[in-house]
Amino acid sequence: MNDSRASTAGNVDRVTYAHGRRSIDMSASVLMTLFCLALGFQQVAIKAVAADVSPLAQIALRSLVAAVLVGGLVCWRGIGLADLRAWLGPGLLVGLGFTAEFAFVALGLNYTLASHMSVFLYTAPVFAALGLHFLVPGEQLDRRQWWGIALAFVGMVIAMAPTTDHANAAAIVLGDVLGLLAGLSWAATTLVLRRSSLSEAPAEQALCYQLSVAALLLMPAAIWAGDVGTMQVSRLALASLSFQALVISFGALLLWFSLLRRYWASQLGVFSFLSPVFGVLFGAVLLNEPLTANFMIGGGVILSGIVLVTR
């Protein structure tokens, strides 16, 4: 997870936890590594069963299942309808940003490789840092971070440069652009949270808005597109959907918010660059995705820029 989302989630935490945070220890390091492993596997899990269940249908279904689980958690925590209505405006905006992010991921995976999507999605902290610099007092970038942003954009140009190594190079570039739009949507969600009163709401409540809006919008879209009616419910598809709903959309995010209540968000965010690295490795090993020289060089430059921006 990137530091922009780390900062966002940190603001969502209740003030009562602020004085109880401590520096990251070995336990948190292990948990964050596992968390990044799960996120890195996310795009591969979607791509692996795309022939059976379209990426759009997968994200719609997993959002629906996770929304029900988080809704139950919200009720159990005593968050009522009055609390949900209090932040409904910014909650809907955050939900729209979250929906756009994964809609672009779903569309992009129809064209590009899972390894490419893993890298371009995690350009979000770069875009978020730019937005925070201009819109949020106290979030101005220093010289090191500006160099990181410049490196990240140079890396994007290199990684997306046309290549003859793929027969469908044009389609891959289109998917990469959709991955960048997913990163922009993620960054926009961060900005809404940082600039609205929703930052004062419990983490479960913000997550409930995100998943509920995504399920309400993406499920009808998947049905209208005919993706639900053409699903092939194989064992691999069921395993992938279960992993995405239970591990990614529900369990991993709850783990993330739990860690944020105990440790400094800035230190946890340093681990963010591991997710795209794992995504590239999983894509190459499990899906036999080819890695072109320009993508490897550009991806490395992007990751270097992300580290400079978020460390």
pLDDT digit string, tens, across residues 105-126: 999 999 988 888 988 888 887 7
Q: Give residue for tokens 């479960």.
A: 204
The full set of domain ranges for the chain reads 3-310
Whether the pLDDT of residue 197 is over 90: the answer is no
Q: What is the pLDDT of residue 4?
A: 43
What is the arithmetic mean of pLDDT over 154-175?
75
Listing DSSP states for the chain in one string gives --HHHHHHHHHHS-GGGGGG-B---HHHHHHHHHHHHHHHHHHHHHHHTTTTS-HHHHHHHHHHHHHHHHHHHHHHTT--HHHHHHTHHHHHHHHHHHHHHHHHHHHHTTTS-HHHHHHHHTTHHHHHHHHHHHHSTT----HHHHHHHHHHHHHHHHHTS--SSSTTHHHHHHHHHHHHHHHHHHHHHHHHHHHSGGGGS-HHHHHHHHHHHHHHHHHHHHHHTTTTTT----HHHHHHHHIIIIIIIIIIHHHHHHHHTTB-HHHHHGGGGHHHHHHHHHHHHHS-----HHHHHHHHHHHHHHHHHH-
For the ranges 53-57, 89-93, 197-201, 288-292, the lowest mean pLDDT is seen at: 197-201
Q: Taking the chain, what is the end-to-end CA distance rounded to the nearest angstrom?
A: 12
Q: How confident is the model at residue 13 (pLDDT cuts 50, 70, 90)?
A: very low
**Residue 268, pLDDT score:** 64
pLDDT at residue 157 greater than cutoff 70: yes
Task: Report CA Rg, the chain.
Answer: 19
